[in-house]
Amino acid sequence: MARFALTLIACTLVVAVAATPADQEFLTKQKEIVKLLNKVHELNFYQDQATIGKDWDPLAHLDSYKNVRVVKELVKELKNGKLIKRGEIFNLFNEEHRREMILLFETLFFAKDWDTFHKTACWARDKINEGQFVYALSVATLHRADTRGIRLPPAYETYPHLFVTSQVIHEAYAAKMRQEPAVIHMNFTGTVRNPEQRVAYFGEDVGMNSHHAVFHMDWPFWWNEEKYGLTKDRKGELFWYMHHQLITRFDAERLSNDLNEVEALHWDKPIVEGFYPQTTYRKGGEFPARPDNFMFHDLKDHRVADLEAYEERIREAISAGVIFDAHDPNTFISLNNTEGIDKLGAIIEASSCSINPSFYGSLHNLGHIILGRVVDPLGKFGMPPGVMEHFETATRDPAFFRLHKHIDNIFKEHKDSLVPYTHEELDVEGVDIKNVEVDDLVTYFEDFDIDMLNALDDAAGLTDVDIKARVQRLNHKPFGIKIIANSAAEKTVTVRLFLAPKYDWYGREVPLDIQRWKFIELDKFAVKLTAGENAIVRKSSESSVTIPDPVSTHDLRKLVDDAIAGTATLEVDKDVRHCGVPDRLLLPKGKTNGMKYTMFVMLSDFEEDKVNDLPHDYEYGGFVSYCGTINHKYPDKKPMGWPLDRKICKDSFHDVTNMYFRDVEIKFEHTH
């Protein structure tokens, strides 16, 4: 009998890390961006930036911009008082607000060099609405070649109002008046009488809110590929997959808390769960609350009937397997292929890549708008936008998940219409998973402090004191998995790792063909197998779907100053962004006595999956699964969620030795 040498593949040792120490030029940029985002509701506190801003006249430097028209237009509208004022609430879903913001974004994006970009930002900082400024500056920083790798301060510190309850803001003010440092305990919204409260820790998790907000900055629905010269590879598919994963995660949290899976919303049925956000805008009042059992209403400018019509057309396209091209009514574009989901995503969101926006409308965005304004549809009471109208706050509302469940079901109709994968497509000759070992999976709640500095107006004679909001958040103990796999020859494989609840709310074991749509993607990475037996070892912290806690603004400032002074090093990874589920939320909560999940491991041939010639262990910033990359193609040719995205024809999953199912248990530990 042949004896296999056991090869241990520790991924951490061989990963091609793209991070390098920042040079002085980069550090200056990093410092300037953090300064620009400091206390955006007030005029710039940094005199050097304020002076640059006052002295800069974009019209006198038109040849410093790649697109002169947008610069002229922005300056003209600013002069004529056409733009929304500072202090007003910026709403990305409002066409007029968005149009103005895009003018600013383009002015920043088309600045030919860092110097012009920086001066333009200083100029806009004190003149343009702060909501528009933060959003445009963030998206420009994420996409400009000369600012790649710059870290933005966490959204919950730039804009604490969108992340903490009004009670906390009041208490923070009181503490500031007393000039006393304070730690304010924040509760999740709602009371024990509201069952939805049991999963508020997920929808109100500040890291989750930030992830959602940054996802929509990395993949803006208004992105203009041709104009900006930057292709957004598989944007429509990613829109589906990121939100699909949010739903599977939310449902897994619900089951952990004895709630049934979230029900899809219907346009013609009451929205059963009301919602009282308990959050306040900095100016402009409270976020509107919604009583239970509210019906959808027509808005001044959008009708529910339009929504229903768009949806009908989309579902017709799915059953026909083709969509109408806007440019040529006689042309049909087939959905019956792996790219179909991408086209469908662009239509449903709808992004500017939509093939036919006038026919298929904009189901997702309209859904957000109609839900956001549901309690004041005609603007009779002048209520400010609802939580659904900001990506930062949307996941707080249970209706967000109901809306996205509804949309996810439409995507599922499409995936279900495709031919199931065959045994041949799934099988990798000569690769055989022998065993998968998993450490104990344990979750718990911990305290987390949010810096409230930016939430409070400066008042004459009052200096800043250290005020924090303390929230509870889910975390898990670090864990590792070990996959023992045999390979007939040396071969590079993609490893995919998924997890789904084994039982439904009624306690029935979920059949695989239903369960497949409920799998959470935990990780995806590539490794080289040697001939013989291999042990693939992977740590939870290496997951391709999560990111670590962002560095707080306070620490970031200090790190940058120290690095400039030469006493510390700031590592820059040009592929790193800010999108990604927080590390802490990698696992669903589970139950005190343990909750059973199915773990699914799949190895596939990396040569068939790869999209470029980068090494198989190239890092791409480390969290590509839900967030893609900005500078590369999505680094996996397979459909997202493969091979669980299509119907499972029973025989095809039989005797595929390169896949492995096993039960695991997640235990929740009370910490108090």
Ligand X SMILES: *[C@@H]1O[C@H](CO)[C@@H](O)[C@H](O)[C@H]1NC(C)=O
166 makes contact with ligand X (CB under 6 A): no
- What is residue 511's DSSP assignment? P
Q: Which residue do the tokens 């020859």 mark?
A: 489
The least distance separating ligand X from the CB of residue 391, rounded to whole angstroms, comes to 25
Residues 407-436 as x/- pattern, contact with ligand X by CB under 6 A: ------------x-----------------
The least distance separating ligand X from the CB of residue 321, rounded to whole angstroms, comes to 5
Amino acid identity for residue 529 in this structure: L
Helices (H) and strands (E) in the chain, counts: 23, 17
Binders of ligand X among residues 265 to 324 (CB under 6 A) are 321
Candidates 7, 187, 224, 257; binder of ligand X (CB under 6 A) is 187
Residues 33 and 242: their CA atoms lie apart, in Å, by 28
- Among 634, 662, 657, 642, which residue's Cα sits nearest to residue 421? 642
Give the nearer residue to ligand X in terms of CB position, either 67 or 338.
Answer: 338
Candidates 186, 214, 318, 547; binder of ligand X (CB under 6 A) is 186
Binders of ligand X among residues 316 to 335 (CB under 6 A) are 321
Q: Are 280 and 161 in contact (CB under 8 A)?
A: yes
The least distance separating ligand X from the CB of residue 318, rounded to whole angstroms, comes to 11
Residues 659 and 314: their CA atoms lie apart, in Å, by 35
Residues 211 and 205: their CA atoms lie apart, in Å, by 10
Strands 659-669, 431-438: parallel, antiparallel or unpaired by DSSP? unpaired
Give the nearer residue to ligand X in terms of CB position, either 334 or 569.
Answer: 334
Give the nearer residue to ligand X in terms of CB position, either 405 or 468.
Answer: 468
Interface segment toward ligand X; rule CB under 6 A; list 21-29, 182-190, 266-274, 580-588: 182-190
Q: How far is CA 595 from CA 510, 542, 666, in A?
A: 14, 24, 5
Candidates 28, 167, 338, 629; binder of ligand X (CB under 6 A) is 167
185 makes contact with ligand X (CB under 6 A): yes
Interface segment toward ligand X; rule CB under 6 A; list 180-188, 288-296, 551-559, 658-666: 180-188
SS3 334: strand
Tell me the sheet residues that pair with 393: none
Candidates 92, 134, 168, 499; binder of ligand X (CB under 6 A) is 168
Strands 322-324, 581-582: parallel, antiparallel or unpaired by DSSP? unpaired
User: Is the four-CA dihedral 60, 61, 67, 73 of positive or negative sign?
Assistant: negative
Q: What residue spans of 15-79 are helical by DSSP H?
A: 24-36, 47-55, 68-79
Rounded to 10 degrees, what is the CA torsion of 246, 251, 253, 254?
Answer: 140
Residues 520-539 as x/- pattern, contact with ligand X by CB under 6 A: --------------------
What are the tokens at 622?
A: 């480390």
- What is residue 507's DSSP assignment? S
Q: Are 325 and 332 in contact (CB under 8 A)?
A: yes
* Per annotation, catalytic residue among 106, 237, 253, 349: 349
SS3 147: helix
SS3 583: helix
Task: Give the H or E element holding residue 341.
Answer: helix 340-349
Residues 491 and 271: their CA atoms lie apart, in Å, by 52
Nearest 5°: CA angle at 220, between 521 and 69? 160
Q: Does 349 participate in catalysis according to the annotation?
A: yes
Interface segment toward ligand X; rule CB under 6 A; list 118-126, 185-193, 429-437, 497-505: 185-193
Residues 358 and 360: their CA atoms lie apart, in Å, by 6
Amino acid identity for residue 333 in this structure: I
The least distance separating ligand X from the CB of residue 64, rounded to whole angstroms, comes to 49
Give the nearer residue to ligand X in terms of CB position, either 174 or 462.
Answer: 174
Candidates 231, 331, 336, 569; binder of ligand X (CB under 6 A) is 336
Q: Are 333 and 322 in contact (CB under 8 A)?
A: yes
Give the nearer residue to ligand X in terms of CB position, either 419 or 459.
Answer: 419
Interface segment toward ligand X; rule CB under 6 A; list 19-27, 181-189, 579-587, 626-634: 181-189
The least distance separating ligand X from the CB of residue 372, rounded to whole angstroms, comes to 25
Give the nearer residue to ligand X in terms of CB position, either 202 or 421.
Answer: 421
Residues 655 and 652: their CA atoms lie apart, in Å, by 8
Residues 6+ apart with CB under 8 A from 434: 484, 485, 486, 533
Count residues contacting ligand X (CB under 6 A)? 9
The least distance separating ligand X from the CB of residue 115, rounded to whole angstroms, comes to 45
Give the nearer residue to ligand X in terms of CB position, either 139 or 186.
Answer: 186
- Among 155, 186, 188, which residue's Cα sits nearest to residue 172? 186
Interface segment toward ligand X; rule CB under 6 A; list 179-187, 209-217, 377-385, 662-670: 179-187
Give the nearer residue to ligand X in terms of CB position, either 184 or 199.
Answer: 184
The least distance separating ligand X from the CB of residue 414, rounded to whole angstroms, comes to 11
In DSSP notation, 515-526 reads HGGGPEEEEEEE
The least distance separating ligand X from the CB of residue 661, rounded to whole angstroms, comes to 27
- What is residue 509's DSSP assignment? B
The least distance separating ligand X from the CB of residue 387, rounded to whole angstroms, comes to 18
Q: Which residue do the tokens 């107006």 mark?
A: 457
SS3 88: coil
Strands 480-487, 431-438: parallel, antiparallel or unpaired by DSSP? antiparallel
Q: Are 647 and 583 in contact (CB under 8 A)?
A: no
Neighbours of 377 (CB within 10 A): 15
338 makes contact with ligand X (CB under 6 A): no
At 627, phi and psi to the nearest 5?
Answer: -120, -5
- Binding site residues, ligand X, CB under 6 A: 167-168, 184-187, 321, 336, 419
* Catalytic residue annotation: 349
